[in-house]
Amino acid sequence: MKKWISARVVATVKHTLCLAAAALVVAHAKADDTFRVAYAGSMGVVMDKALGPAFAQREHVTYQGQGEGAYGLARLLASGRSSADVFVSITPGPMAILKDAGLIDDAVPVASTRMVIAYNPKGRFGDALRLAGSDASHPAWWQVLQTPGLRFGRTDPATDPQGQNIVFTMLLAQKYYHQPGLAQSVLGDIRNPQQVFGEGGLLTRLEAGQVDAASGYESATRSAKLPYIALPDELNLSNPAFAKAWYDTVDFSLPGADGKTKTVRPQPLVFYAAKLKNAAHPEAADRFIAFMTSAQGQQLFDANGYGQPKGEPLYH
């Protein structure tokens, strides 16, 4: 009797282990079937609610998006600590990290945007920002941002292009409006911990009232249906005509990944997409990039506040 019970228990255990092993195999297979896109954090809405689902439905694949600061995400991909089939970044800088790591051959422009100042319309500075500069009786936007007690949010310039771009915008505003010290007054230190937040959650913090105003790309701000202050081309980094003669007149220094100080300069606000050489689904990666540049893909970009692609592919 004891031997029979022992044999039955062993058989049951073996059966359970087999089922568990089979479940793991199935789960692993499903994970391998997942098409992954890593993207600049500001693109969360257009990627995870528009382009990703539309592509998944058309191609019958499982889509998974990962959004973070583009420089930080590029370093994760380059080091092998993260993986993806496609990487979508704003500005050429993050793409250069993957190019240097031998992970991409080229990068295709898929959309564009411009810098804006987003604000919370229900906050205590909402009316002042809405009326900013509307006539001589109202302070300009850059004056409102210097109001004591106003909480301004931005991203980390060491890990995110937007974090760098708002610094460039303020440095250009300082020159454009002939206001020495404007950038320091609005931003404080380059990596001011009281202002710097992760890119993916910055506009969420703005909506929740944790900050009164924030740096933003027009694309992401419109996607989030938040009001914003449009800036002149001389400040918004969108016009290639101003690139060399005006945008390139500002720069600032940051600590590099190697610990050495590096000087950073403005780059065009163009979104680029690239297939990674270690992509688990290279053919799907090619189709996704083609989808983003197709009429349907461009319509989805436009509906979410993005402009047309600008410039040529990188590294051609």
125 and 207 inside one domain: yes
| Predicted local confidence at residue 30, as pLDDT | 44
- Report if residue 24 sits inside a domain: no
| Predicted local confidence at residue 124, as pLDDT | 94
Supply the CATH number for residue 226's domain. Answer: 3.40.190.10
Structure tokens at 97: 């990290």
- Report if residue 259 sits inside a domain: yes
* Maximum pairwise Cα distance, the chain: 98
The CA angle 5-8-13, to the nearest 5 degrees, is 125
| Predicted local confidence at residue 250, as pLDDT | 97
- Specify the amino acid at residue 227: P
φ, ψ dihedrals at 73, nearest 5°: -70, -40
- Report if residue 198 sits inside a domain: yes
Per-residue pLDDT of the chain (316 residues; tens, 9 = 90+): 444 445 454 455 455 544 544 444 334 434 468 999 999 999 999 999 999 999 999 999 999 999 999 999 999 999 999 999 999 999 999 999 999 999 999 999 999 999 999 999 999 999 999 999 888 899 999 999 999 999 999 999 988 999 999 999 999 999 999 999 999 999 999 999 999 987 668 999 999 999 999 999 999 999 889 999 999 999 999 988 898 999 999 999 998 777 889 999 998 899 999 999 999 999 999 999 999 999 999 999 999 999 999 888 999 7
- Report if residue 4 sits inside a domain: no
| Predicted local confidence at residue 88, as pLDDT | 98
The count of domains in the chain is 2
Residue 210, domain extent: 115-264
- Report if residue 164 sits inside a domain: yes
| Predicted local confidence at residue 253, as pLDDT | 95
- Sequential DSSP letters for 217-259: EHHHHHHTT--EEE--HHHHS--GGGTTTTGGG--EEEE-TTS
Are 222 and 305 spatial neighbours (Cβ–Cβ below 8 Å)?
yes
97 and 135 inside one domain: no
